Amino acid sequence: MFQKLAKTLCVVAALGAAGAAAPTSASARDFGATISIGNGGIELVRHRGHYRPNYGCSPRRALNKARHFGIRHARIRGVSRRAIVVAGRKRHHRAVVRFARVPGCPVIAYR
């Protein structure tokens, strides 16, 4: 029983040591770069793309989403830590949409 436990611990330690050697390529990926190995040796290539992580709902995204819902003359009525309120007109009536400040801008309320 003790020998089986010792073997298991050795395997876990070996996997942990192998995992500790891997962060060099993962850390390069976190900063928007790639490690390239070619004839000239090892090179760090930085990318200048349009990568933008989705941190949450911005007022601009809420306005675009309200316009997509058919609200005309949409404007930001209020911004708080938890919600964005957009007001406008739809079918000749006032419309107010409240979006949550989380990724995807889900609708909380619609009047």
In a domain, 51, yes or no: no
* Residue 68, domain extent: 59-110
Same domain for 67 and 32: no
In tens digits, the chain (111 residues) has pLDDT values of 667 666 666 555 655 555 555 445 444 445 556 666 666 667 666 666 665 666 789 999 999 999 999 999 999 999 999 999 999 999 999 999 999 999 999 999 999
Number of folded domains in the chain?
Answer: 2
In a domain, 79, yes or no: yes
Same domain for 65 and 42: no
14 C-beta neighbours (distance < 10 Å), count: 10
Cβ atoms of 46 and 35 closer than 8 Å: no
Rounded Cα distance, 62 and 68, in Å: 10
In a domain, 40, yes or no: yes
**AA identity, residue 9:** L
Same domain for 67 and 33: no
